[in-house]
Structure 1
Amino acid sequence: VRLDIENSFGSGPGRERNVVAEIKGSEGGEMVLLTAHFDSWDSAQGANDNGAGVATVLEAARVLKALQIRLKHTIRFVFFSGEEQLANGSRAYVEQHKAELDNIRAMINTDSGAQQPLGLQLNGRQDLEAATKELLKPLAPFGADGISLDADFDSDHESFMVAGVPAYELLVKRDDYDVRHHTIVDTFERIHPSLLGMHTAMLAVIGYQFANANERPGRRLSPAEVVELLKKTGLEPLYRLEYPDAKP
């Protein structure tokens, strides 16, 4: 494939856009979000951060659609812009979709490159642990049924986390990701196709499991409960810095 692309650059305000697609569920109402951001730093191609994540979500959507799998609940695939600027795209999505937040069963974000999948990070939500372990059982033969209660504010899941929505991150063996992302060596040739395929398969299975489960993995937290969660995980100071107008 050969492409001839012209870019134009300028300073000043501009408009960012998210890209959204979905596969409708038969029962309507509730949904699962599979997400990745498509922007990157200007120092390199952004292959692992986050081209691999975008490819993973896009391919998971293609696979689920091609297999004509019947879903109870909708899976929405969201590609955010502006993640590298304090999660602008996902913040805007949460603000513009306030009426839908109670209907989100889970938001599952991938922003860690094409790495070996290990399971899901629950971002401090211990109340999600039992249900999530059950939903991940089909991935046990592949070593991708792990659970981590670690919490962080390093990607678009944070926008949903502070809104009380059950927000997950794909848990992976990060290997060389942390030393390559945001650098000039985050390039396409360092993507491992086999790991990218495993990443995609894991995300597709997780999306299916969460969309077809009889019960939600957990409920949406109230604003006061979110603050308690952030205190427990040590993220409250960063929350106050990034969301100075937040209440309580």
Structure 2
Amino acid sequence: MTRTPPVPLKAVLLNTPDIELWPGGLLRARSNGDARILSRARRVLRRKRDGTYLAADLAEGIQPLVPRLHREPGLDAALDLLDASPLHARNGIDHVGQLPLHRLQDRLDALGVDAEGYAQRTGLGLVAEPDWLAFAGFDRYRRALWLRIDAARAWLRMREAAVRDGIVLEAISGYRSHDYQLGIFVRKLARGLSVDEILRVNAAPGFSEHHGGCALDIGTPDEPPAEESFEATPAFGWLQANADGHGFAMSYPRGNPRGIVYEPWHWRFAG
């Protein structure tokens, strides 16, 4: 049997509570100036709250990409991490640590979500972010797909096995930070939805399985993303028959006790 080679560990996302450290070559340039700098960057510091590119690590040193970079919250922790040996090299090739649940209560308070009551009502637990994630290729939208190293390897092998059976699986979404999850709520609130309406579809920030880097939203070509109609596709039938053998399980079947709508597209690597 042909096996997918291990995910190249040079392509890793280093993670801090406020700032992500991206490997060079994986972020889209937003201007000609960005393009010139990003093409030479070894790492790019990206603000998690809104995706702003903060600085590039070049051979000649740190190149700021925003004014007053020195005032950026979390910058010292990100620069310390940049100067240190890689996390996976220090702690063992497959060791993944967890970030503290940084500022999470502030996010939940801003939404009016009582964390304790929400956890009791849904049975969902808080999910910490990994301190590094592996590059697992690209999703449907050509965005970098980040997963825990074990989930990344399992996903690539499962996708390859599906191809051998004539099935194409596409990643729609993988790792999402607490800040990204909050952004989903902010955008939907701006469209007029209530927090309760959003919670029926999206877990509260800090409670999504996507935070841990082991959850994937999966689709297939010519099928809209994250729609119940996915269950009628050959891809979903293949997942039902084969995902368990690759360590993946559907998190939210019909009638699940979490109060989350049926999500045939959402699968989590459990090992």
Normalising by structure 2, we get a TM-score of: 0.23
Please identify which structure carries the higher helix content: 1
Q: Between the two structures, name the one with larger relative contact order (CA 8 Å, sep ≥ 6).
A: 1
Pair member with larger Rg:
2
Normalising by structure 1, we get a TM-score of: 0.25
